[in-house]
Structure 1
Amino acid sequence: MAHDHRHHHGPGPGHASQHDHADVDWAAMAPLLEAQAELYTPLYRQAMDWLAREVTDPGLIVDAGSGPGVVSCLFADAFPGARVVAADGAAPLLGRAAARAARLGLADRFGTLAGDLPDALGELEYPADLLWASQSLHHLADQRAALAAFGSHLAPGGTLAILEGGLPARFLPRDLGIGRPGLQDRIRAVEADVFSTMRGDLPGTVAETEDWPAMLTAAGLRHTGTRSFLLDLPAPLSDAARDYVTTSLSRLREQIGEGLDAGDRATLDRLLDPGDEASAHRRRDVFVLVAHTVYTAVRPG
């Protein structure tokens, strides 16, 4: 349930792979997930500033689908009075989360909870004042039931904040000077189909109109806000941001490359060739632009 970005959140390009959980080597994935979440830190901090207006002085914050805990630790930093629990189905990632918290001096108010969501939340010692679920719900077969389960682990008056949707990450200009213009839009279309297939293949999957405020209301919560947050890293990129772009494109090539036509595959291969002047490794016009949407809802008290 981590965000790639998971992850994860985030679902940036490269997101499709995380949906086949049985085959994911989370220990190997952890550095990638951490690097992405670190890159997205300005976006998460904006979201937390917004949440702090609604959630005053929370005692317990739960990050449901925490992955390696980068965002969990940001919550601990943003809400210094809170205890934070990072919950995830991938135990190797939680080890990284605990180590990060210790490194940042947060260990005394940081815990982890391993197990499948939302059931694992039954292990919480007391209800949460803020439960954050970033791109974890869309991994769950019955999203409405999962929202109701998440809501049941909130204290009366507690807030559920879900990060879902927004605008997909864009890295490349429409016309790259190589291949047919509009490559990233065609990649996105294939990714959307792969994602739909993933959802359709989940055991017990429930088709849902993704109207999150309506789903939150149906789960017995009171929708209180919707806001989108922008990550805007213009060219020229830092080395870390460029690494994120090339890694994302490389994973896309592996995961959905066969869904592209031969011309687009050839263009993508040139973009991934460090020896090519036109590659994402070397060109000056690569950027990162993405928007994530957060929905908040309160458990009636």
Structure 2
Amino acid sequence: MEREGELYAPALTRAAQWLHDLLDGTPVGRVLDVGSGPGVVAGLLADAFPAAEVVAVDRSSALLERAVARSGGRVTTRQADLPDGFGLLGTADLVWSSKAVHHLGDQQAALTALAGTLRPGGLLAVAEGGLPLRFLPRDIGLGRPGLQARLDAAHEDVFAAMRAGLPGATDGVEDWPAMLAAAGLVPAGSRTFLVEWPAPLPAAAREHLHAQLDRRRGQVAGGLDAEDLATLDALLDRDAPAGILNRPDAFYLTATTVHTARKAADAG
């Protein structure tokens, strides 16, 4: 999680600055990072809002300890298991949540709960969606061309099954600005931030990509044919020249979309 956060850090730094600009003129005394993990974004928010108390919120005490260590103590923590723990968060002028809402069965109820933590004039920023990861050319010289598109399709099935199995799972159109409006907020804009590491990748990025592919193979094995599985195994071979750790053409390209909305300044 930390390696991924570091890869995303340049893009998320730009996102934090955008949020700072959106809140220009609004006093920001408290910031929540809901679903913070090891606190990569919490640290970036502490940089963007140095006068604010920045609180990392997660259910894992170990990850919260990493958030404090990474920030040099600039970030405080609140342990909470959502959705039951929404009432433990307190209020804030800025609430950030990245790829956490989609792990809750009722996404609209989750956004409404997050909106309820905002102080008048406060901003809710939800990073959901974007573009899937691309890391190799279409034809990699192994198996059939187009492996990544088939990985995406298989992963969509796994993701849908995950969502369906969540407690209180509720279907709905994932129109995030409309969902934020339904939570009682005024949409303030959406922006997509590019995460781009061109070839040749540094060693840490290659290790993260290898770990991602290994995890994805375990998730989607039932949705791929034998040829694609064999191609994945070849890419995961740590010693093979054609493996992802050694290929000169490996890159890391994706994008994350941040949707924002504000609570009315005169809201009670």
TM-score for the superposition, normalised by structure 1: 0.85
Larger CA deviation: 252-261 vs 178-187: 252-261
Q: Matched residues in 2 for 1:166 and 1:179: separation? A: 28
- SS at 2:64 equivalent: helix
Q: Specify which of 102, 105, 111 is matched with residue 76 of structure 2.
A: 111
SS in 1 for 2:248: coil
Aligned length: 263
Structure 2 match to 1:47: 15
Residue 40 of structure 1 aligns to a residue whose secondary structure is helix
Report the Cα offset of residue 135 of structure 1.
0.4
Percent identity reads 52
- Residue 253 of structure 1: how far off its partner (Å): 1.5
Distance in 2 of aligned mates of 1:55 and 1:38: 25
How far does residue 54 in structure 1 lie from its aligned partner after superposition? 0.7
Q: How does 1:211-226 map to 2 (within 5 A)?
A: 211-226=175-190
Return the alpha-carbon distance in structure 2 between the equivalents of residues 258 and 172 of structure 1: 22
Alignment of 1:149-160 (within 5 A): 149-160=113-124
After superposition, residues 77-96 of structure 1 pair within 5 angstroms as 77-96=47-66
- 1:16 is matched with none
- Which AA in structure 1 matches 2:16? M
Higher mean displacement: 134-143 or 83-92:
83-92
Q: Could you give the per-residue CA deviations for residues 23-76 of structure 1, whole angstroms, max 9, x where no partner exists?
A: xxxxxxxxxx11110111001011111111112341111000000111111111
What's 1:277 paired with? 241
State the Cα distance separating 1:118 from its structure 2 match: 4.2
Q: In structure 1, which of residues 110, 120, 143 is the aligned counterpart of residue 85 of structure 2? A: 120
SS of aligned partner of 1:248: helix
The residue type paired with residue 191 of structure 1 is: H
Q: How does 1:12-51 map to 2 (within 5 A)?
A: 33-51=1-19
Is the Cα–Cα contact under 8 Å of residues 111 and 180 in structure 2 kept in the other structure?
A: yes
Q: In structure 2, what is the Cα distance between the partners aligned to 1:203 and 1:218?
A: 22
Match of 2:218 in 1: 254
Q: CA RMSD in A?
A: 1.2
Structure 1 residue 98 displacement after superposition:
1.6
- 5+ residue gaps, structure 1, are 1-32
The residue type equivalent to 2:196 in the other structure is D
Tell me, yes or no, if the aligned pair for 2:56 and 2:77 is still in contact at 8 Å. yes
Report which stretch shifted further, 252-261 or 143-152.
252-261
Partner of 1:177: 141
1:146 aligns with 2:110: yes
- In the alignment, is the contact (CA less than 8 A) between 1:237 and 1:286 conserved in 2? yes
Q: C-alpha separation between the residues in 2 aligned to 1:277 and 1:100? A: 35
- SS for the counterpart of 2:199 is coil
Q: Distance in 1 between matches of 2:194 and 2:230?
A: 31
AA at the equivalent of 1:276: A
The more displaced of 286-295 and 111-120 is 111-120
List 4+ stretches of structure 1 deviating above 4 A.
Answer: none
Please state how far the C-alpha of 1:101 moved relative to its aligned partner: 2.2
Asked if residue 137 in structure 1 is aligned to residue 101 in structure 2, the reply is yes
